């Protein structure tokens, strides 16, 4: 039986998080988080290690229930939405698993088809189109562990395209990638018109140069807004425990530690 997508409430934000607290067993990873994301917006979720970035994405994806507060996706709880594509950190994926690139991208169709229905020619055509769009069609039959890091991230974007996802959540997609691979993934994300994108990342330069807004976390919400409004020295010091500054260069924005500011250390 074909899966039915959860209803979308007209005029509702793509994502609405209200007084959210979430964690694992007795450990609270996030406390009292509230914000909204408009449809089609690109939001960078930044913060130090252990700040709760992964926890937030998992909660929005419906993989981790809130301990308190609530999350709404187009006006309804995350469960039942097949419009959400969640991409975990690469370290959480078993790259030795014997599946091909084509298989993984076809998984984006599974929830729309239903578990026991076979893919139709139209589904295969959509998967090939998604692979072609991200430049991986020649590698469709390759085992996923044989891909480079950048190719693996492009494969997940192709899966989201095949899924016809309206919200993409990516956890540290740029970690370990060379500059060229980072640029390629960024370009693909920027080409996804109308898709709401949340990316957890460490690179504040990428957050500043390529995202509409930045949400800065350290177990609680420290700021959300334009990069220039949020990534100020006082707020960065609260997040990272040292003074960081954003320096504009010809190549973009560079994040540097300012050891001369109050509280800064070499």
pLDDT of residue 129: 97
Q: Is the pLDDT of residue 264 over 50?
A: no
Q: Would you state the pLDDT for residue 2?
A: 47
Which tokens is 127 given? 């998967």
Give the per-residue pLDDT at 245: 64
How far is CA 256 from its chain centroid?
24
pLDDT of residue 72: 96
CA distance 256 to 2: 51
Q: In residues, how long is the chain?
A: 266
**Where, residue-wise, is CATH 3.40.50.300 in the chain?**
1-83+166-233
Distance between CA atoms of residues 15 and 216, nearest Å = 17
Q: What is the mean pLDDT of residues 169-194?
A: 96
In angstroms, what CA-CA distances link 254 with 42, 173, 198, 207, 223? 20, 19, 21, 11, 20
Q: What are phi and psi of 103, to 5 degrees?
A: -60, -45
Q: Which two tokens stand for residue 191?
A: 């080409």
Whether 259 shows a pLDDT value over 60: the answer reads no
- pLDDT tens for residues 68-124? 999 999 999 998 788 999 999 999 999 999 999 999 999 999 876 765 567 888 999
Mean pLDDT of 34-41: 97
The span from the CA of 94 to the CA of 16, in Å, is: 32
**pLDDT score at 195:** 97
Query: What is the CATH T-level fold of the domain 1-83+166-233, as seen in this structure?
Result: Rossmann fold (3.40.50)
Mean pLDDT of the chain: 89
Kindly tell me if the per-residue pLDDT of 266 is higher than 70: no
Give the pLDDT band of residue 222 (cuts 50, 70, 90): very high
Consecutive H or E run containing 56? helix 53-60
251 pLDDT above the threshold of 70: no
Provide the pLDDT for residue 257: 57
For residues 106 and 129, the answer to whether their CB atoms sit within 8 Å is: no
Give the Å distances, CA to CA, from 127 to 49, 124, 132, 165, 250.
35, 5, 9, 13, 39
Q: Which two tokens stand for residue 121?
A: 């020619």
| pLDDT at position 1 | 42
pLDDT digits (tens, 9 = 90+) for 9-29: 888 999 999 999 999 988 899
Return the SS3 of 150.
helix
Task: Find, among 156, 150, 252, the residue nearest to 206 by Cα.
Answer: 252
- Of all residues in the chain, what percent carry a pLDDT higher than 70? 86
d(CA 24, CA 181): 33
Structure confidence at residue 246 (pLDDT): 63
Is the per-residue pLDDT at 244 higher than 60?
yes
73 near 84, Cβ under 8 Å? Answer: yes
201: which 2 tokens?
């990342």
Would you state the pLDDT for residue 237? 87
Mean pLDDT in residue range 213-230: 96
Residue 247 has pLDDT above 80, yes or no: no
């Amino acid at each position: 039986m074909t899966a039915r997508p959860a209803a979308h409430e007209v005029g509702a934000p793509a994502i609405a998080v209200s007084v959210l607290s979430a964690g694992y067993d007795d450990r609270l990873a996030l406390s009292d988080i509230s914000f909204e994301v408009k449809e089609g917006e690109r939001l960078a979720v930044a913060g130090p290690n252990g700040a709760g970035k992964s926890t937030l994405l998992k909660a929005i994806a419906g993989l981790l229930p809130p301990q308190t507060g609530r999350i709404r996706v187009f006006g309804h709880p995350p469960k039942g939405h097949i419009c959400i594509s969640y991409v975990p950190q690469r370290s959480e994926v078993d790259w030795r698993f014997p599946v091909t690139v084509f298989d993984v991208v076809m998984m984006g169709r599974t929830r729309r088809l239903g578990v026991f229905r076979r893919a139709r020619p139209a589904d295969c055509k959509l998967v090939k189109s998604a692979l072609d769009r991200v430049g991986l069609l020649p590698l469709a039959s390759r085992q996923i562990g044989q891909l480079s890091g950048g190719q693996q991230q492009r494969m997940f974007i192709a899966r989201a395209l095949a899924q016809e996802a309206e919200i993409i959540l990516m956890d540290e997609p740029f970690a370990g990638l060379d500059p060229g691979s980072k640029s390629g993934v960024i370009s693909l994300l920027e080409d996804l018109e109308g898709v709401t994108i949340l990316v957890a990342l460490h690179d504040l330069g990428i957050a500043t140069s390529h995202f509409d807004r930045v949400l800065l976390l350290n177990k609680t919400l420290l700021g959300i807004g334009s990069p220039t409004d949020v990534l100020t020295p006082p707020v960065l010091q609260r997040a990272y425990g040292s003074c960081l500054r954003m320096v504009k260069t010809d190549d973009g924005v560079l994040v540097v530690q300012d050891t001369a500011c109050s509280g800064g250390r070499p």
